[in-house]
Structure 1
Amino acid sequence: MPVISTNTAANTAVRFLNQNAASESSSLAKIASGSRINKASDDAAGLAIATKISSDITSLQQASTNATQAVAVLQTADGGASNISDILTRMKSLASQSSSGTVTDTERTYLQDEFSQLQDEVDGTASGTRYNGVSLLDGTSNFSTGVDVLVGTDASDTIQIKIDNLSASNLGISSLDISTQSGADSALTTLDTAISSVSSARASIGAQESRFEFRANALSSTEENLSSAKSSITDVDVAAEQANLSSAEVKTQAAVAAAAQANQMPQYLLSLLK
């Protein structure tokens, strides 16, 4: 029924104009931001999932850093243990020389001088092998009893670093004396045991280092996969959204034209009264 007091056609046209303009603005925001979800109403469930994934990715990135730092700790410890092993090898050489019957007691005294210096150097190396100011090999840090490193997104995702005490006293070297042939003979047995202990400690360090390296690789792979999953939820499909934008632009233009046409209808009806 034609009326002049209420322009229903114009109201309808304006309603569709607002809807199409909102769709156009939404598409422009998505294309400009590169994100499919700019507000919760865009995809409430997707936003919740993406937020959780983002949290996991952040945790994995830190876990990967933790694993890398753990490897650095173990590499530092292994470097110190290698030096101690070299020192013990030299000490064994001196003890072997002193144990020989061709060496006089005077010469054994000279050998003992170097031997004593090397005993002190074992402790010096053990205490001087530090990471972040913490000695790793002298048994004074928590590493001797075990330190848990977080390598995942859950508090239970840990790997323990444990480094043996390689101080001279713990290895049994500290009381050795090769100034006599009998002392040298005794030292050889103790040094063999000490060298074996250091080798065992280095094997343990190497095994832990290998585990952390594999875990770091796994963390990188998981982070990559989660990033891809998050992308599939939040990143905008530019081609599809551009098509939506083009459609919204056409509909907006059509609604503007329709609103203009609807606003002319009362004028047409008034012409009937002339």
Structure 2
Amino acid sequence: MPVITTNTAANSAVRYLNINSSDQSSSLSKIASGSRITKASDDAAGLAISTRISSDVVALEQAATNASHATAMLQTADGAASNISDILMRMKALATQASSATVTDTERSYINAEFTNLAEEITSVATGARYNNVSLLDGTGSFGAVMVGSNSSDTISLSFTDLDATALSLNATTISDQTTATAALTAITSAIGSVSAARASLGAQQSRFEFQADTIATSIENLSAANSAIEDVDVASEQAKLSSAEVKVQAAVAALASANQMPQALLKLLQ
């Protein structure tokens, strides 16, 4: 029924224009952001899952950094332990020389001077092996667990052995005669064994952190792929929706313009 009081056609055209314009804006925002979910109403469940996955990825990225730092700590400690091992080799050679009857006590005093300095150097190396200003091999550092995952239980404990001269029972060793030189030789052999065991422990821990770093990298890759499937927009599909919405907006604008002309056309009946 043609009327001039209420333009029903115009109202309908406006409603569809608003709908189509909203669809157009939604497609534009998704394409511009690269995300399929630009507001919670797009996919509430998907948003919740994506948020959790994203938080796990962020935590794992930091865990990878933590594992790298732990590996660096272990490498620092192992480098110092290697130096201590070299010093012990030299000390063993000196003790072997001093324990021989072919040298005199006077010569042993010269040997002992180097031997004593090397024992002090072991403590210096153990104290100087630091990471983030914390000594690793002199027993003063405090080490806990390293976070290597996205859950509070995903931890690996760090362990370092005290390798200073006191811990290796070398401080009280004076090779000034054949008897003490022979006793020192036994102590040094034991110390070499202790350092070797400590290096084996450091190597085992380092290997574990390296494998954990590989696991973290794989997890990050897989979680990122899963999150992409949930969150990332299908550009081709969304572009098709945008093109459709643009056409509908143009059609609605044309329909609204035509509807607005209808009352004017009816007024001609009164002339």
Q: Same fold (TM over 0.5)?
A: yes
**5+ residue gaps in structure 1?**
none
Distance 1:141 1:28 in 2: 57
Cα offset, 1:43, TM superposition: 1.6
Cα offset, 1:6, TM superposition: 1.2
Distance 1:190 1:241 in 2: 76
Please tell me whether residue 208 in structure 1 is matched to residue 205 in structure 2. Answer: yes
Q: TM-score normalized by structure 1?
A: 0.96
Cα offset, 1:264, TM superposition: 2.1
**After superposition, what is the alpha-carbon deviation per residue over 1:71-107, rounded to whole angstroms, capped at 9, x for unaligned?**
0000000001000000111000000001111111111
Q: Secondary structure at the match of 1:168?
A: coil
Distance 1:105 1:265 in 2: 125
Q: Which residue of 1 aligns with 2:242?
A: 245
Q: Which residue of 2 aligns with 1:126?
A: 126
Identity over the aligned pairs, expressed in percent? Answer: 64
Cα offset, 1:8, TM superposition: 1.0
Q: TM-score normalized by structure 2?
A: 0.97
Q: Which residue of 1 aligns with 2:115?
A: 115
Cα offset, 1:267, TM superposition: 2.8
Distance 2:127 2:253 in 1: 81
Give 1:193's match in structure 2, choosing from 190, 210, 214: 190
Distance 2:265 2:140 in 1: 98
Distance 1:228 1:192 in 2: 55
Q: Which residue of 2 aligns with 1:33?
A: 33
**5+ residue gaps in structure 2?**
none
**After superposition, what is the alpha-carbon deviation per residue over 1:197-219, rounded to whole angstroms, capped at 9, x for unaligned?**
00000000000001001111111
Cα offset, 1:134, TM superposition: 0.8
Q: Secondary structure at the match of 1:142?
A: coil
Distance 1:189 1:105 in 2: 19
Q: Which residue of 1 aligns with 2:219?
A: 222
Aligned residue type for 1:239: A
Cα offset, 1:158, TM superposition: 0.5
Q: Which residue of 2 aligns with 1:153?
A: 150
Q: How many equivalent pairs are there?
A: 271
Q: Secondary structure at the match of 2:138?
A: coil
Q: Where do residues 1-274 of structure 1 align in structure 2 (5 Å cutoff)?
A: 1-143=1-143, 147-274=144-271
Aligned residue type for 1:142: S
**After superposition, what is the alpha-carbon deviation per residue over 1:42-95, rounded to whole angstroms, capped at 9, x for unaligned?**
221111111111111111111111100000000000001000000111000000
| Runs of at least 4 residues off by over 6 Å | none
**After superposition, what is the alpha-carbon deviation per residue over 1:217-249, rounded to whole angstroms, capped at 9, x for unaligned?**
111111111112222222111111110110001
Q: Secondary structure at the match of 1:171?
A: coil
Q: Secondary structure at the match of 1:169?
A: coil
Distance 1:29 1:8 in 2: 32
Q: Secondary structure at the match of 1:196?
A: helix
